[in-house]
Structure formats: C-alpha cells, structure tokens
Amino acid sequence: MPTTHSPNQIASPPPAAMTIPEFCRWSRIGRTAAYREIKLGRLRLVKVGAKSLILVSDAERWLSSLSAVAA
C-alpha cells in the first residue's frame, strides 16, 4: 500500500555526509579499516568543529576505486 504524506510534510534531502560509525555501517567495514583508509589518503575526512565526517561523494568515490576480486 502506498504511503501518503500530508501536504505540510517536506521530504528531507539525503544526507551529504556521514559520521565514522555511519560510514562503517554503510561500507560494511570496521573503524580500524576506515581509519587506515583515511591515513593512507584513499578516503577523505573533514572536520566540522570536533565532529569528523566523510562526505557521501567521497565515500562513493572511495568505493568505486576499490579493486574487484577475480572469480
């Protein structure tokens, strides 16, 4: 059954950035692996005050740069 929205509800845009825990859930890798990718310069971390974020565009670029495993 389709979901209906009231006229007063405004759809929120998708997030533009993720926290480290959100990135780890999204990418299915652990914190240690995420920080390793950041340290190696393959994944960019941005800071907003004390908060560390990964831009969704950077996360998608990182994911598409990974090598495929041959069968």
Higher pLDDT, 11 or 71: 11
Residue 2 predicted with pLDDT over 60: no
Query: What confidence category does residue 11 fall into, taking pLDDT thresholds of 50, 70 and 90?
Result: confident
* Helix spans in 1-71 (H): 20-27, 31-39, 56-65
Q: Domain locations in the chain?
A: 17-65
Average pLDDT over residues 25-33: 97
Rounded distance between C-alpha atoms, residue 60 and residue 63, angstroms: 5
Higher pLDDT, 68 or 52: 52
Query: What confidence category does residue 7 fall into, taking pLDDT thresholds of 50, 70 and 90?
Result: low
Q: What is the pTM of this model?
A: 0.78
